[in-house]
Amino acid sequence: MASAARVDLDGNPIKPITMCMIGAGGFIGSHLCEKLMSETPHKVLAVDVYNDKIKHLLEPASLPWADRIQFHRINIKNDSRLEGLIKMADLTINLAAICTPADYNTRPLDTIYSNFIDALPVVKYCSENNKRLIHFSTCEVYGKTVGSFLPKESPLRLDPAYYVLKEDESPCIFGPIEKQRWSYACAKQLIERLVYAEGAENGLEFTIVRPFNWIGPRMDFIPGIDGPSEGVPRVLACFSNNLLRREPLKLVDGGQSQRTFVYIKDAIEAVLLMIENPARANGHIFNVGNPNNEVTVRQLAEMMTKVYSKVSAEAPLEVPTIDVSSKEFYGVGYDDSDKRIPDMTIINRQLGWNPKTSLWDLLESTLTYQHRTYAEAIKQATSKPVAS
């Protein structure tokens, strides 16, 4: 546990605080709660509709941090207890969202309500009660890169000025309205603008986080095991599911899109720095990603196949990947971000943070977890006789 000697980046002692963490039961929330409980003296009022991913932190009552974490099963859409919890806390962290791409074009209304309308009261209560807010946005607010509009053979496509994404310079470039994929990015952009405006006009103390593909254990669900069999999670869980079931990995539109992946544990270090260094974090928007871990989705599939073979001791399939169209995989209205490299200048300058873990290493620890957690359950589920 944390000792009294913990200091911030300017050498000042860190005072224990209480935070209201909304969406604490999700992927990022579960890792943040784990970090806060095991390494700091802070208290967490954990708000979510689910708590399966933080059960190990809530029970048994003999856990050393039992008096520092409280779970509140609240749907923030319609629960008057939310304002009371925000008032009780020094800081609110809002992680709640619908944030799986398969939902953006198939459930655009739920996506827009979740990412904009439902976040409004949180911003309002923080502003009215003079409470600090850390709001989770997304790298998707950048949309497509400027470079993607250049001719394919243009040498400018190789110039970082046309693709590196900078918080204070890059434009936000979305596709047309009928490409409903952009409902999420657009809702997130508008809530960012609202948070920023509350800061400018009403003095709200805020930090906005733009995660760039944070991945690791407990991300999303494995369809048919701890989530709906027809559900489509984000790429890490899709590919894990395929590997666990010995099916080819599906490459949407050839797997040509590029992503940078950062290990969840590295990214959580950045969030802790924001929590504990308000003077350096307030008023800023931070990219949080790992520019050194860039791959195409096809390369990710190939690397995950190799790593999974190592951790499971099973030979890869003869045909490890297949191509599918985005229409077939996600339905109409899907579109894609072509490339996502975060500029790190602001987070480096303000918080001195840098990611550490290579893509191979983070996949090795994550796929070891996936194999240990799910391989047996999948074996049992697939060996069940089909009802006649």
Residues forming the site for ligand NAD (CB under 6 A): 23, 25-29, 48-50, 75-77, 95-97, 99, 114, 118, 136, 138-139, 211, 213-214
Active site residue 184: yes
Out of 235, 272, 311, 347, the residue judged to bind ligand UDP by CB under 6 A: 235
Binding mask 277-306 for ligand UDP (x = CB under 6 A): --------------------x---------
As given in the structure block, the two tokens for residue 19 are 């935070």
Nearer to ligand NAD, 167 or 320 (CB): 167
Which of ligand UDP, ligand NAD, none is residue 255 near (CB under 5 to 8 Å by kind)? Answer: ligand UDP
Question: Interacting stretch for ligand UDP, rule CB under 6 A, among 6-14, 113-121, 195-203, 254-262?
Answer: 254-262
As given in the structure block, the two tokens for residue 383 are 């060996």
Answer whether 175's CB lies under 8 Å from 248's CB: no
Q: Give 301's strand partners.
A: none
How many residues in the chain?
A: 388
Of 97, 128, 289, nearest in space to 205 by CA:
128
Which of ligand NAD, ligand UDP, none is residue 246 near (CB under 5 to 8 Å by kind)? Answer: none
Residue 130's identity, in one-letter code, is: N
Which of ligand NAD, ligand UDP, none is residue 97 near (CB under 5 to 8 Å by kind)? Answer: ligand NAD
As given in the structure block, the two tokens for residue 134 are 């850390």
101 binds ligand UDP (CB under 6 A): yes
Which helix H or strand E contains 241, and what residues bound it? Answer: helix 235-244
Among candidate residues 184, 308, 330, 334, the one labeled active-site is 184
Out of 108, 255, 333, 342, the residue judged to bind ligand UDP by CB under 6 A: 255
Out of 251, 267, 271, 285, the residue judged to bind ligand UDP by CB under 6 A: 251
Positive or negative CA dihedral for 294, 216, 143, 198?
negative
Answer whether 214's CB lies under 8 Å from 235's CB: no
Nearer to ligand NAD, 19 or 76 (CB): 76
CA 383, CA 222: separation in Å to the nearest integer? Answer: 17
Which of ligand UDP, ligand NAD, none is residue 99 near (CB under 5 to 8 Å by kind)? Answer: ligand NAD
Nearest approach in angstroms of CB 25 to ligand NAD is 4
Of 274, 273, 293, nearest in space to 357 by CA:
293
Answer whether 270's CB lies under 8 Å from 136's CB: no
Q: Could you list the active site residues?
A: 184
